[in-house]
């Protein structure tokens, strides 16, 4: 069973969903109803949550506002072995820093798999928690972000300003 809640945050709204195993979805958007519809398209049985999810949401919102905040909630990651490697590599990129898709591919021992790394980023269901916004093109430009390039830029700018403080 998956439970969810939606809350305002610095980037619009954040939807936080969890199974009995842990956090399984964190989505960013401008329309809370659209966030819920998107979650229910993937998880039709998802239900509005109780107070426990609110505490998880508070942790996620703190992470958005200050990416240096320790984050140790249990995660329910569902993906291939390759995706899991990519997602772990993304979590190892410090706040305020970025890595190219090619660099991430080399870090996980798959130097020719930059496109597959990009696809794993696209399949990430845990915005901010798995910081795929820190993955950039080889030329330093921003590309694809499930929750929009404006949010990707905002997250990177927020991280840069937080680290400089």
Q: Would you state the structure tokens that stand for residue 10, as one six-digit string?
A: 């610095």
CB distance 147 to 27 below 8 Å: yes
Strand partners, 23: 18, 75
132 assigned to active site: yes
- Could you say which of 9, 24, 121, 132 is catalytic? 132
Evaluate whether 19 touches 62 at the Cβ level (below 8 Å). no
138 burial class (0-12, 13-18, 19+ CB within 10 angstroms)? exposed
Which residues are the active-site residues?
132
């Amino acid at each position: 069973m998956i439970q969810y809640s939606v809350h305002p945050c610095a980037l619009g709204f954040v939807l936080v969903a969890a199974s009995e195993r842990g956090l399984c979805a964190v989505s960013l958007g401008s329309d809370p109803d659209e966030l819920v519809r998107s979650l229910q398209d993937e998880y039709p049985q998802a239900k509005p949550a109780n107070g426990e999810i609110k505490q998880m949401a508070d942790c996620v919102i703190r992470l958005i506002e200050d990416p240096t905040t320790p984050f140790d909630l249990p995660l329910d990651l569902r993906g291939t072995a390759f995706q899991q490697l990519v997602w772990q590599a993304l979590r190892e990129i410090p706040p305020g820093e970025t890595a190219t898709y090619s660099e991430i591919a080399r870090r996980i021992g798959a130097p020719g798999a930059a496109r597959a790394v990009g696809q794993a980023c696209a399949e990430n269901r845990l915005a901010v928690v798995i910081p795929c916004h820190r993955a950039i093109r080889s030329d330093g430009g921003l590309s694809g972000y499930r929750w929009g390039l404006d949010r990707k830029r905002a997250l990177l700018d927020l991280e840069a300003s937080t680290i400089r403080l």
